[in-house]
Amino acid sequence: MLAKQNAVVELLRISPVADELTALFTKAGQSLFLVGGSVRDALLGRLGNDLDFTTDARPDQVMRLVSGWADAVWDIGIEFGTVGLTKNGATCEITTFRADAYDGVTRNPEVRFGDSITDDLKRRDFTVNAMAVNLATKQFVDPYGGMDGLAARVMDTPAAPEESFGDDPLRMMRAARFVSQLGFTAAPRVVEAMTAMAEQIERITPERIQVELSKLLCGAHPRAGVELMVDSGLAQHVLPEVPAMRLEIDEHHQHKDVYQHSLVVLEQAIDLEESAEPDLVLRLAALLHDIGKPDTRRHIPGGGVSFHHHEVVGAKMVRKRLRALRYSKEIIENVADLVFLHLRFHGYGKGEWTDSAVRRYVTDAGPLLDRLNKLVRADCTTRNRRKAQALQRSYDDLEARISRIAAEEDLARVRPDLDGNEIMRLLGIPAGPLVGKAWKFLKDLRLDRGPLDHDDAVAELFAWARTQGLGPYPADGQQVADDAEQVDDHDPDDQAG
């Protein structure tokens, strides 16, 4: 552990921003500490360009000290004692020592500035975030055992967890988030406090909860974070559809443990991610793809269980829950669409789909196709090796067919063979709902039969128009189409004469 302390000191010694800030504050007679997540991440070898500092200087003093030195300064958080700045590509936040008091109703403290680094560290959320380095003396400050917690990879609180969570219930979500991000476990007393106080999370706004949930799901170990939320009862107040998937299983009506299955699907979907950036939409869809099963479970006489239309019910539940958590409309619709479509592949069988069915699969998925393919692959959790291999071959075959048809027909932009303007001209109708119906008919035809040549598309349009009571139109649309093209070729001035 001494080696890790020395690593932090060495890092600070060669950091121009830290050195320059230290000189500014020391000259003014003020102390300056690197603190919190910055110290934790330095010890874990993952320190970035965002640095957190704390000081005994009051906010107005901090503003005077950094103005003219920093590349940019902002005071958005100054009422809470925080001044932000950038310097040489580093983003820094400098916060005055705090000794806050909480009202026990909201998570908003009565801000009080303090004079002690020890008291400031005690009010922080977890011991691994309650370490500091005195930048002037290079002294390591760890009054609450943060280094021990880091070595044991355990999340604990500086104060009693009941006090910490009572001050700010969002810290319970942060515990689960750090379990996911850092791969740590929560101390037993932390889990006990979370279990006893889970309902207090309802004091927190949905927006704040959503931010922590998203960070949890985008962490390196989201399954562990979700399990902590569920086991402590926190998920019952944040994402109740997830613990609801823990369905009872009896010896006569056996089925997979839907909750455990969903956690495995989440892990397998993550393994399929191709970008270094986590895919929040895919991860949400993987976790929630089966949330419609509890509401659609039916016992089959003689044994067995069915979950008919759980994808339809699940998509509705996703929209409702993600709206409550204040996710963006785009995220809500994308996740709901993936949940709705995730069973579509299972009609593929051994390749019985026609090219028309493949086109519809691609068109219905739209820009979500790549994510849908990943979700479908991740949804295979059978322990039957032969069945799993057969499913993988089917996935491979479908993706190969999609690639072939896409190369031939530009599936990413499937549109009717005639556009709206040509439909209006050929049928002699104005813009309106009827044009939309004709456009949809031609698009469905395009999906069923692939690209049509122009004459065949016109003939099909006329045939459809006759079924709608329009016309009369000739059975062979060629002459009318030619006439329309000839009219278009005339000079407008000639027609005016």
pLDDT 10s digits, 298-357: 877 766 777 888 999 999 999 999 999 999 999 999 999 999 999 988 777 666 788 878
In this prediction, what percent of the chain has a pLDDT beyond 70?
A: 86
Of 212 and 444, the structure prediction assigns the larger pLDDT to 212
Q: How far is CA 429 from CA 57, 415, 416, 432, 484, in A?
A: 76, 20, 18, 8, 13
Rounded mean pLDDT of the chain?
86
Average pLDDT over residues 179-198: 97
The backbone torsions φ and ψ at residue 132, rounded to the nearest 5 degrees and listed phi first, read: -145, 160
- Whether the pLDDT of residue 484 is over 70: the answer is no
Place 185 in a pLDDT band, splitting at 50, 70 and 90: very high
32-36, 365-369, 451-455: range with lowest mean pLDDT: 451-455
Predicted confidence (pLDDT) at residue 165 exceeds the cutoff of 50: yes
Closest CA relative to residue 54, chosen from 145, 125, 131: 131
Of residues 8 and 436, more confidence is placed in 436
Q: Which residues have C-beta within 8 Å of that of residue 394, sequence separation ≥ 6?
A: 345, 348, 349, 350, 351
Of 97-111, 162-176, 315-329, which range is least confident?
97-111
Locate 104 and state its tokens: 């026990």
pLDDT digits (tens, 9 = 90+) for 239-289: 999 999 997 554 434 556 899 999 999 999 999 999 889 999 999 999 999
Q: What integer pLDDT is reported at residue 413 of this predicted model? A: 56
Query: Closest by alpha carbon to 126, among 159, 104, 80?
Result: 159
**Of 60-69, 270-279, 294-303, 386-395, which range is least confident?**
294-303
> Which two three-digit tokens encode residue 153?
């990879």
CATH homologous superfamily of domain 2-152? Beta Polymerase, domain 2 (3.30.460.10)
Q: Which residues pair with 267 in a beta bridge?
A: none
Residues 6+ apart with CB under 8 A from 281: 331, 334, 335, 338, 371
The string of DSSP codes covering 275-320 is: SSS--HHHHHHHHHTTTTHHHH-EEPTTS-EE-TTHHHHHHHHHHH
Range in 32-41, 330-339, 457-466 the model is least confident about: 457-466
Gap between the Cα atoms of 157 and 226, Å rounded = 20
Which pLDDT score, from 0 to 100, does residue 251 have?
Answer: 42
Q: What is the band of 15 on the pLDDT scale with cuts at 50, 70, 90?
A: confident
Question: Residues 334, 338, 344, CA angle at the centre, nearest 5°?
Answer: 150
Determine the pLDDT at residue 496.
Answer: 36
Of 269, 306, 310, 308, the residue nearest 290 (C-alpha)? 310
Confidence of residue 103 (pLDDT cuts 50, 70, 90): low
Q: Which of 72-76, 229-233, 256-260, 490-494 has the highest mean pLDDT?
A: 229-233
